[in-house]
Chains A and B, each alone.
Chain A
Amino acid sequence: MSSTNIYKPYLMQIEKILDEAPGVKTFRLRFTDDEEKNQFRFQTGQFGEYSIFGEGESTFCIASSPTRKDYIECTFRQTGRVTSALARKEEGDVIGFRGPYGNTFPIEKWKGKNLLFIAGGIALPPLRSVIWNVLDLRDQFKDITILYGARSVADLVYKYELDEWSARTDLKLVTTVDPGGETPEWKGKVGFVPSVLDWMEPSSEQTVAVVCGPPVMIKFTFPELLKLGFTPDTIFTTLENRMKCGVGKCGRCNVGKVYVCKDGPVFTYQQLQELPAEY
């Protein structure tokens, strides 16, 4: 008989807090129990339930790469009850974490291909996990291109890593901010992600596109990708439905018979087209 309490979280200590953008923070979390740390494995694309005791749990992706061992990172925007409580935490504090849950980006199948990452705003975290994952295995992939846009310069997350990526010669980074969001010092593009994508004209030849962003960005980016010759099975994204349990039982994240927490969060555009429009 199984007696494991599947709802019991790990206790994780906040090792480092980074202020990313207004209301947006990144936590680096370490296991407080060595045995749990040694047994813990995850793959890029997976998510977890992060909790503040007395406030509740909140769902976000693991924003770090599985190639970076010993810790996990998450990035969140302070909006609701739990994220506000998280935002009040300090380095050294302990929070709860359950996971990893869900499926993964199939990077094994992407080996030998070009990768095009397109992210908008606070949706860079899930892509940041897979970007570092493929960068840490750089020789297994061909050209890597990243297009990242945010509402304004202040809203860009991981600015320190954007500088690092931009200095690398083995990837191409294009950053953009929405018209009006630029500063006098801004050296990136000004324009919405889909139009910058149109201007970039990346090749779809032997290329996988991975898109994460707000629904409106996704809505206008998919048609651009199809115009560029991408087929729906080569376009990947993640769904962010509301979740409570993370393990296919609480019943709210389903889209048709698909449970986002079990069958997702990673889907191809082709898979999305087969689902009822309820996400």
Chain B
Amino acid sequence: MSHQQAVIHHEKLLQFLDGLISSGKHLYAPQRKTGKTYFLPVSQSGSIVFDEIQTTLSPKEILFPKVERLLSYEQNNGTLHVIDHGTAGQMPDRVLFGSRPCDASALHTLAEFFRRDEPDAFIEQRQKSLTVISVSCVQSDQNCFCTSVGSSPGDTRGSDILLTPVGNGKYFVEVLTEKGQSLVGASGQYFETSGPFDKTKVLANIDRSFSSTEVAACLSKSFDHPFWNDASLRCLGCGACAYVCPVCSCFDIQDEGTAKKGGRLRCWDSCGFSLFTLHTSGHNPRKTQSDRWRQRLMHKFFYMPDRFGLLGCVGCGRCSRACPADMNIKEQLIEIKKTMEI
């Protein structure tokens, strides 16, 4: 895989991004809306927000929308037709700009997960038409813990191009994939050649709080540990953590419409909801909020690595920032390591 290095100035970067838009690419980047920051379609680069440590929602939707139509159906003269328009259409070329390395890594994990066994063509086609330009973190906050889950503020996983701000309005550019190369190659005039650069000089300093492999080892023996009871007493079961999580991929399938016409939709769901696993008979395998909180952590840090070789967390810290009950995942994982260690 090509791995090229270059330097670009902020002004040139904006011109480069405007060039992508005028060449017909759909650009998504952090923008402010009602006081929050989201990845939204961009019509000119001036509206892009560069100074947020973390956007409010992750760019997960670019692969896995909150709600999407899996199919439509229509009853015509007594005959039922199922219309499969979800995967058949041409997907426009999309560019995601300004994702943090943790978010890019999460997109990679999502795409991997949905590709397993029977590939989910909805996610797969979006991933194939997407190019990811991430920006390394030179700032962090107390909720960030990427370095505890095998990543770092300058991690290249999941990015096609990674920009690292090096000061004086300049970015060190790593072109990591062919997709990245084809974007840069068509706009060579904006980039200056550069030799290697030691990113660690400028990257945010995020202390490693725990080791995810050690946590997994603790969790593998701790299904019945009393820790889970106390740990989840204040959890409201609101599902906000799953909603803001860039890796959470659980979903529901629901029909909207009448018997004559409508659609089958996929919507984000959460293992924190009691309805998630409730049987029609009234039996619920995860009866209590502590059962559901345990499932959340077990799934991310033990089941997913064990079964798929993928960690279900990238350490972005959004769940801790969003939780109205102050459930802090980083603190809980440190606690697990402490209380469950044999």
Contact = CB atoms under 8 A, between A and B. Distances in A.
Contacts of A256: 223, 298, 303
Given A6-B121, A8-B84, A251 B71 contact: no
A5 B84 contact: yes
Contacts of B285: 241, 255, 278-279
Contacts of A51: 255, 264
A106 interface: no
Contacts of B326: none
Main secondary structure of the interface of A (DSSP, over half): loop
A184 interface: no
Contacts of B47: none
A240 B82 CA distance: 28
Interface string A47-63: 00001111111000000
A240 B277 CA distance: 11
A80 B269 contact: no
Contacts of A262: 117
Interface in A230-279: 240-242, 244-245, 247-252, 254-257, 262, 276, 278-279
Interface in B246-279: 249-255, 257-260, 262, 264, 266, 269, 271, 276-279
Interface string B175-219: 000000000000000000000000000000000000000000000
A55 B250 contact: no
Interface residues of B, number: 55
B159 to A, nearest CB: 22
Interface in A1-40: 1-9, 11
B216 to A, nearest CB: 11
B86 A5 contact: yes
Nearest to A4: B121
Contacts of A252: 250, 269, 271, 276-277
A1 to B, nearest CB: 6
B73 interface: yes
Contacts of A166: none
Contact of A11 (B80, B250, B253, B264): B80
Given A2-B121, A240-B279, A252-B271, A96 B82 contact: yes
Nearest to A10: B82
Contacts of B277: 241-242, 252
B251 A249 contact: yes
Given A54-B258, A56-B253, A7 B117 contact: no
B65 interface: no
A270 B280 CA distance: 27
A115 B71 CA distance: 43
Contacts of A56: 253-255, 264
Contacts of A86: none
Tell me what chain B mostly uses at the interface: helix, strand, loop, or mixed.
mixed
A251 B121 contact: no
A94 interface: yes
Nearest to B80: A94
A52 B257 CA distance: 11
A30 to B, nearest CB: 15
Nearest to A94: B80
A257 B84 CA distance: 32
Interface residues of A, number: 43
A115 B114 CA distance: 39
Contacts of B254: 56
Contact of B257 (A54, A214, A255): A54
A230 to B, nearest CB: 25
A79 B282 CA distance: 11
A250 B251 contact: yes
B279 A250 contact: no
Contacts of A215: 283
A276 B271 CA distance: 17
A257 B118 contact: no
Nearest to A248: B117
A38 B271 CA distance: 39
Contacts of B271: 251-252
A241 B280 CA distance: 10
Contact of B253 (A57, A80, A94, A242): A57
Given A11-B82, A242-B279, A247-B118, A2 B303 contact: no
B291 interface: yes
A252 B242 CA distance: 14
Contacts of B276: 242, 252
Contacts of A242: 276-279
B121 A5 contact: yes
Contacts of B258: 54
B307 to A, nearest CB: 4
Contacts of A214: 281
Interface of A: 1-9, 11, 51-57, 79-80, 83, 94, 96, 214-215, 240-242, 244-245, 247-252, 254-257, 262, 276, 278-279
11 contacts: A3-B87, A6-B119, A9-B82, A54-B257, A56-B253, A83-B280, A250-B251, A250-B269, A252-B250, A252-B269, A252-B276
Interface of B: 70-71, 73, 80, 82, 84, 86-88, 113-114, 116-122, 124-125, 128, 223, 249-255, 257-260, 262, 264, 266, 269, 271, 276-281, 283, 285-286, 291, 295, 298-299, 302-303, 306-307
- Name the 10 nearest CB pairs between A and B, nearest first: A251-B250, A257-B303, A7-B70, A53-B73, A257-B307, A54-B259, A276-B223, A2-B119, A79-B280, A56-B255
